[in-house]
Chain A
Amino acid sequence: MVIFLQNLVNALQWGSFYALIALGYSMVYSILMLFNFAHGDIFMVGAYIGFGVSIGLLALSSSGALAMPNWLILVLTILFSMFLTSFVGMIVERVGYRPLRNAPRASAAITGLMIGIILETGNLILMGARRVSFPSLIQTTTYTVGGVFVTNKKIMIVLVSLLLTLALHQFIRRTKWGMAMRAMAFDFAVVPLMGVPVNTVIALTFAIGSALAAAAGILFGIAYPVLDPYMGILFGWKAFVAAILGGRGSILGATLAGFLLGFTEIFVAMIFPSTLRDLIAYSIILLILTFRPHGFFGEPYSARLRL
């Protein structure tokens, strides 16, 4: 039982990363019917931006110019990096996807792959071929609850990701921008007739998705403080799986599927040798998808794509 609970705690943290990245995939996919394959690399870029921002803030703080407690540096790093990374997402959309808005979907998909490669190699050139280690902004405190080890970092990571997911959910349900996104997911072609500037809504969608990926990148850096330019690839693929498994355009679905992936991986690794983890975990996910090919909570949408 203690082992089970211990793994549950680990799975919650692991699933948080997938869930946060999956949201960005899911939003873009539901609105544009587009697989934004560069999104995993946005997660990587976000982690690096977080690295840069935190190093900068730490230097500023220790130089005495603006002394800040570390928790404040962490909060500022998350917020500022989300802000900066949202621009990376908007640039990717503007430069990579918008010119191909009416091109065949396959062209848009390979655009994502190419942008991914550009971001990876661009980073390699910028930062050199070394791994960087994310600064430890908070001291790890370990609590023991009934034999289960829980660290303050794990609690923080799970809480922050749930908080961001909840905020996104409220944004999409309650604001006019969120309403426009839901309308575009249903029937893109008629949305301009409502006086809605669709390009602005699309840019905002990329901005939010990228900001969430950046948050995931920083949280990841706090839990596993080694960053490398290719860290986003496998993570991106898996989060993509979560987005589709969650159902088209469903925030709840993408979140649950992200956690499901985390749980499956961690619990498979609990029972089997860890080299078999992904083999068995993704066979299970494949089986689930076979029985629910539309995912968990797919939103309905109009089949009429043209007006």
Chain B
Amino acid sequence: MLLSVENLHVSYDNIKALHGLSFRIDEGEIVCIIGANGAGKSTTLRAISRLVPVEAGTKMTFMGRDLLKYPADKVVSELGISHVPEGRRLFDNLTVLENLKLATFARKDAKAIGKDLDRVFSIFPRLAERQHQKAGTMSGGEQQMLAVGRAFMSGRKIMLLDEPSMGLAPLLMKSVFDSLQEINREGTTILIVEQNARMALLFAGRGYVLENGKLVLEGGSEGLLANPQVKKAYLGG
């Protein structure tokens, strides 16, 4: 078991966002959490990345280590949990190459960094072409590639992806998901949260359904795709 989340409670300004989530992810898996807007998907990822405080009673471990003992930057640099945030959140004022390099801030393995950079450029050749361009001047698809590439550079035992399909045309979406599959095959575990439930379930091996801060269903992707409840609520009948 790679990541274990037990009884995750989060509140924003006294409003409860997550009511005791529990789930586990094994090494090498692709797991998705689907749910409507506001269900708590992004909050779940933020809690794992230690960007939002969790409430007492919450337990999270990663590779057997207590996640709650790590501040946000160490979650990335010491545990290898990378996070592609909702809306990509690139540094528009930095170049493509600077965005990728910033993600290696705490890494000291210069050789491995060079190899990873080459790998990112081979997965996304467009980024190599545009490496000296400001990130903010690229198209939406290229920006999503950079967001994934940046996470790849920061450390990648597991990659948390928040709505990577958002704002992308179907063809681009497919190419981004294909690249993610490739990254997964090379050993990176993936946890993805999506509103686009069909896309996410086709991509992942198993999934959870999140409703109003609670996990209400879980199972293999095929089972969930065939589940009448999921069909009705998330797959348009």
Contact = CB atoms under 8 A, between A and B. Distances in A.
Q: Do A and B come from one complex?
A: yes
Interface of A: 176, 179-180, 182-183, 185-187, 189-190, 192-198, 299-302, 304, 307
Given A196-B102, A197-B73, A307 B154 contact: no
B94 A194 contact: no
14 contacts: A180-B102, A182-B93, A183-B94, A185-B93, A193-B49, A193-B72, A195-B77, A196-B102, A197-B71, A300-B93, A301-B93, A307-B51, A307-B85, A307-B89
B106 A179 contact: no
B101 A300 contact: no
B103 A300 contact: no
Given A182-B93, A186-B92, A187-B89, A194 B46 contact: no
Contacts of A189: 51, 89
Given A179-B94, A180-B105, A183-B94, A196 B73 contact: yes
A182 B154 contact: no
B155 interface: yes
A182 B51 contact: no
A176 B89 contact: no
Contacts of B71: 192, 197
Contact of B106 (A185, A186, A187, A195): A195
A185 B102 CA distance: 14
A103 to B, nearest CB: 14
A61 B47 CA distance: 59
Contacts of B155: 195
Interface in B61-112: 71-74, 76-77, 82-83, 85, 87, 89, 91-94, 98, 101-107
A194 B105 contact: yes
A195 B82 CA distance: 9
A142 to B, nearest CB: 46
B136 interface: yes
Interface residues of B, number: 30
B73 A195 contact: yes
B91 A187 contact: yes
A198 B105 CA distance: 11
A184 to B, nearest CB: 9
A278 B146 CA distance: 50
B92 A302 contact: yes
Contacts of A180: 102, 105
Contact of A300 (B72, B92, B105, B150): B92
Contacts of A192: 49, 51, 71-73, 76
Contacts of B74: 195, 197
A73 B231 CA distance: 79
Contacts of B82: 193
Interface string B132-157: 00001000000000000010001100
Nearest to B99: A183
Given A183-B91, A195-B107, A176 B102 contact: yes
Contacts of A307: 46, 51, 85, 89
B135 to A, nearest CB: 10
A179 B102 contact: yes
A246 to B, nearest CB: 16
Given A179-B98, A183-B91, A195 B51 contact: no
Contacts of B94: 179, 182-183, 186
A185 B94 CA distance: 11
Contacts of B49: 192-193
Contacts of A182: 91, 93-94
Interface in B103-124: 103-107
A302 B102 contact: no
B76 A195 contact: yes
A192 B102 CA distance: 11
